[in-house]
Amino acid sequence: MEARDCINTRRSIRKYLQKPVEFDKVTAILEAATKAPSAGNTQDYRFIVITDKDLIGKIAEHCTEQYWITTAPLIIVVCADLEKAKAHYGIRGERLYTTQNAAAAIQNMLLTAHNLELGSCWVGSFDEDYVNDLLGIPGHARPQAIIPIGYPDEEPREKEEKPIEDMVFFNSYGNKIENMHFVTQEYNKEISKMLKKTEPAVQSGLEKLKTEAEKLFDKARDKVKKK
């Protein structure tokens, strides 16, 4: 699956088939998690793989009663080692960078699971103290999320998405480009046209692509409207 397709089609799954997940797929998900970026390359993320159904049931009870978690054949508890980030970056590293690092690892996990035709969900609502005690998580580590994983037993609803122009600003917060989606579509069309050029014309095509891109960005800047 192409990376863009994987990102666009991934959805949260909250119901799973009673079918074990192959160990090689679990390994692939964990390996993808460890490839995530981390502040100063501290790689402070840690992962607890849980397949014991009793443990999964106990954790589900303390995830604000999200009992659907019990349908997953396995869950992965993503933790952060606070000491490493704090040693390098102080309180900001302990409180912020560890969360950012874990979040990057989690996104890699979700996308890899989807690419392997598995479902997953990012669960952040849980009794942290209970999970710490149940799983023996030491004081220098903190659970960041619980990720149920399994083969989907549901068709998720289509995701409602906000317009891109409501979320993207240029040069300062609040500076929007009106009809940004139209601008990006126009840009993509121009790229596609250039890519269809015959091989002998590749060099001149690249030059034209550069010129057309500059024109489009100039046009976009003209449409910047401060709100």
Which is nearest to 33 in space by CA: 93, 122, 117? 122
Are 168 and 176 a contacting pair, CB within 8 Å?
A: yes
**What pLDDT, on the 0 to 100 scale, is given for residue 164?**
81
Q: Please tell me the predicted confidence (pLDDT) of residue 92.
A: 96
CA dihedral 153, 157, 163, 167 (to 10 degrees): -40
Q: What DSSP designation does 206 have? A: H
Alpha-carbon distance of 33 to 166, in angstroms, equals 30
Query: Tens of pLDDT along 100-136?
Result: 999 999 999 999 999 999 999 999 999 999 999 999 9
Give CA–CA dist 9/205, Å, rounded: 33
Q: Which residue has the higher pLDDT, 212 or 99?
A: 99
Euclidean distance between CA atoms 173 and 11, whole angstroms? 29
- Rounded to an integer, the average pLDDT of 194-201 is 57
The strand pairing partners of 176, in sequence order, are 225
Fold for 3-150, please state it: NADH Oxidase (3.40.109)
Enter the pTM of the model: 0.78
Buried residues in 198-216 as b, exposed as e (16+ CB within 10 A): eeeeeeebeeebeebeeeb
pLDDT tens column, 143-158: 999 999 999 999 988 8
Percent pLDDT > 70 in the chain is 80
pLDDT tens-digit series, residues 11-22: 999 999 999 999
Instruction: Please report, for the chain, the start and end positions of each structural domain, with discontinuous segments joined by +.
Output: 3-150, 164-226
Whole-number Å distance between alpha carbons of 17 and 69: 12
